[in-house]
Amino acid sequence: MEEKKRGLIEVYDLKKYFDVGHSAFSKKTLKAVDGVSFSIAKGEVLGLVGESGSGKSTVGRTLLYLYEKTDGEIYFKGKKIETRDDVEQFRKNAAMVFQDPYSSLNPRMTVSDIIGEPLDIHKLYFTEEERRERILTLMNHVGLNSEHASRYAHEFSGGQRQRIGIARALATSPEFIVCDEPVSALDVSIQAQIINMFEDLQKSFGLTYLFIAHDLLIVRHISDRIAVMYLGRLVEIAPAEEIYSHPLHPYTKALISAVPLPEPKAAKASKRIMLEGEIPSPMNVPSGCPFRTRCTFARDICVEEVPKLREFGNGHFTACHRVEEITI
């Protein structure tokens, strides 16, 4: 385990496998998430990063039971989520903001009905007037005005649509929100506005986030801690500044080396670490360390054993057999 139970959310050995193929003879197992453990303290933002296909979005969806987990344990406020009633109760306290504001909103529903849908599902009002007031308050929190309530999602820009999605996520007054690449589909000029709004909402409502993204600059800006994922497993987790100033895993070092630096001299002095090959298929995961096929430091032990997350001080965990030996 990465650490003892202390968080609002605790995840232990979470696995999500998908059976793929069209017949009993061609069926294969896709190990999207393969034994992930972490906790998120109340009021904390945990950033989750990795290449496409690393399994980070599957972690978020499985955590909220949008996918049925294959194995593992999930705790909320110290209580294990086991029964259907537990899941329903958890869903009142947790929500998700999706990546694509163009496909995550129903084009046949007005903004008022999109935001009000969670209120209807969980029966969180007594009168229509109370429902309307709640919707307008939520719209105000995300920078939309009352005139927008009767319009349809297709009439709005991408940034405005994401604001609608965020208002919908806030409808049940959740304590925990999974943000699944919430700005990656938006123009760069709009991304900063949405990130700033996430930060303001967190301060106003005491929210806890799992913030999933592939842009390490954004993750560094908003996160208290960062977890790095590769091929279904966590390879490193540490405080945000610690992981940037002192990355330990070869994969994390390569990711950070690719982040553009704004200062020209620093950018010129920095050395890009190029990874060889492509990320393997999660249907054919290498034995031992999942990163070994792209790692110049791999040895026999990396082929034979899956490395466990170990702490190296300051809440800094990494999964690498040779971390004490290698320097880049």
Report the alpha-carbon distance of residue 290 to residue 294 in Å, rounded.
9
Res 2: pLDDT: 42
Structure tokens at 129: 């007037």
Smallest CA-to-CA distance from 275 within 328, 211, 212, 217 is with: 328
Burial of 6 (0-12, 13-18, 19+ CB in 10 A): exposed
pLDDT at 262: 55
Residue 266, pLDDT score:
47
Nearest to 109 by CA among 101, 97, 117: 117
Sign, CA torsion 89/64/166/196:
positive
pLDDT tens, position by position, 119-156: 999 898 999 999 999 999 999 999 999 999 999 988 99
Condensed to tens digits (0 to 9), the pLDDT of residues 168-183 reads: 999 999 999 999 999 9
Cα–Cα nearest to 116, from 103, 129, 134, 104: 134
* Crossing angle (nearest 10°) for helices 158-170 and 111-122: 20
CA–CA separation, 286 vs 284, rounded Å?
Answer: 6
DSSP secondary structure string, 70-106?
SEEEEEETTEE--SHHHHHHHHHHEEEE-S-TTTSS-
Tens of each residue's pLDDT in the chain, 328 residues = 344 456 899 999 999 999 887 666 667 889 999 999 999 999 999 999 998 889 999 999 999 999 999 999 999 999 999 999 999 999 999 999 998 877 888 888 999 999 999 999 989 899 999 999 999 999 999 999 999 999 998 899 999 999 999 999 999 999 999 999 999 888 888 999 999 999 999 999 999 999 999 888 889 999 999 999 999 999 999 999 999 999 999 999 999 988 766 555 544 556 767 677 778 888 888 999 999 999 989 999 999 999 999 999 889 999 999 998 886 5
Whether 34 contacts 154, CB under 8 Å: no
- At residue 275, the pLDDT reads 78
Q: What is the pLDDT of residue 243?
A: 93
